[in-house]
Amino acid sequence: MNSSGAISTYNLNNCIYFTIDKERYTPYTTFKGSFIVKNNYEEVISINFLINGTAVHYGSIDMARMTYYAGNYRLDIASRSYTLALGLNQPIPQINSSVTLSNLLSRNVSLKNVTYETGTKSINYIYVLENSTLWDAVVAYSLKAYGKYPYIYKTNEIRINAPSSVRTRNYRKVDVVEIYSGSTLSNLISHIHMKDTEDNYETYNLTDSYATSRDIIRHKQIPLDMQWLADTDMALQSRIDFAKRGTKYKGIKSLEYSGEELFDKFTYTDFNNVSKTGTIHKLNITGRNNNIYTTMFEYTDAY
């Protein structure tokens, strides 16, 4: 966009480096990259990034910086996908009845460049809380309708169920640069207590044995959750489960990018020379010096 407000589209083919991150619990994709460009761009408002013709990121600009040095312009960009708006917009606090994913979104904020899974089941209602975000409402619907946590698929598509286009790829030893396995206890909650209608915090309680067996003691006190008033067990369990996100993981780093996407399958040979198959729950794609690396992880957690 120039100083007069006119918008133009440019192809940026001379990429110095880029990195893209997608993760099943994060409601947006992140992009960072640097390009050699011919001209000075006054304002950059969006980026649509493709690898070998496959769109892997489309989003607005968090930061764009032009640098001129020795006769060349360099453009550095940081961006998050348009689904970031799900966490920045607040729906009307109210009871939404006969809810599907599509009518939940259409009843509230109209988001540009964001699509969603169609044909999802209708449930009786969800309660949209004060100060909650549109993503909170989507999570509540997803948990109540399917017992699953939603995620962002490809470029800006909100999904709950795995798509029919899931692919399985076999990675040869020669193409695998690194193999990973690990765990984290940093988010665990050991005990959760929810206030009842009499302001008593001892009525609704849940202890997570996974955390306590690992000597993690973290108590959390929460107010009465009207969203789950008809299912207080879910109010507690969903928070315990979310705290377990990504608790254990395994994965690989491979040469090249072959169109990998969240919930695709990957097969490889592990440390012990045993064939393993995983589902992609976290994805990083990085390019530099004419090389592209794809790192993918499978989580073992509540979802």
Residues 73-126 pLDDT 10s: 999 999 999 999 999 999 989 899 999 999 998 887 789 999 999 999 999 999
* Residue 250 CB neighbours (<10 A): 19
Q: Sorting pLDDT into bands at 50, 70 and 90, what band is 2?
A: low
In this structure, is residue 2 part of a structural domain?
A: no
* Residue 222 is assigned to a structural domain of this protein: yes
Query: Quick one: 114 and 141 in the same domain?
Result: yes
Q: Is 284 domain-assigned? A: yes
CATH of the domain at 259: 2.40.30.150
Q: What is the extent of the structural domain holding 282? A: 168-184+247-300
Looking at residue 40, its pLDDT comes to 87
The reported pLDDT for the residue numbered 39 is 86
Least confident residue range of 1-10, 31-40, 81-90 = 1-10
Give yes or no: residues 155 and 89 share one domain.
yes
Same domain, 201 and 291: no
Q: What is the pLDDT of residues 114-170, one digit of tens each?
A: 999 999 999 999 988 889 999 999 999 999 999 999 999 999 999 999 988 889 999
Residue 1 lies in a domain: no
Q: Do both 149 and 273 map to the same domain?
A: no
Our separate counts of H helices and E strands in the chain read 4, 20
- pLDDT for 227 equals 82
> Which helix (H) or strand (E) is 240 found in, with range?
helix 232-243
The answer to whether residue 104 sits within a structural domain is yes
**Tell me, what's the pLDDT at 272?**
84
- Which pLDDT score is estimated for 244? 96
Write down the pLDDT at residue 6.
63
Whether residues 99 and 126 fall in one domain: yes
- Report the predicted TM-score, pTM, of the whole model to 2 decimal places: 0.92
pLDDT tens string 196-240? 988 899 899 999 999 999 999 999 999 988 888 788 999 999 999
Residues 146 and 70 in one domain: no
Question: In this structure, what CATH number is given to the domain that contains residue 50?
Answer: 2.30.300.10
Is the same domain home to 19 and 70?
yes
Question: What pLDDT was estimated at residue 251?
Answer: 96
If one counts the domains in the chain, the total is 4
Whether the pLDDT of residue 1 is over 70: the answer is no
Residue 9 lies in a domain: no
52 and 146, same domain (yes or no)? no
Is the same domain home to 99 and 139? yes
User: In this structure, is residue 6 part of a structural domain?
Assistant: no
Whether residues 179 and 281 share a domain: the answer is yes
Element (H, E) at 232: helix 232-243
Q: What is the mean pLDDT of residues 44-72?
A: 94
Domain boundary among 31, 60, 83: 83
Boundary of a domain, candidates 39, 55, 83: 83
Task: State whether 227 and 277 are in the same domain.
Answer: no
Q: For residues 119 and 150, state if they share a domain.
A: yes
pLDDT in tens, 251-284: 999 999 999 999 999 999 988 888 999 999 999 9
Query: Residue 96: which CATH number?
Result: 3.55.50
CA distances from 274 to 100, 173, 235, 271, 277 (A): 42, 12, 40, 7, 10
Q: Is the residue at 7 inside a domain? A: no
Helix axes 134-146, 232-243, angle to 10 degrees: 110
pLDDT at res. 218: 97
What pLDDT does residue 9 have?
Answer: 80
Last residue within a domain, chosen from 83, 104, 125: 83
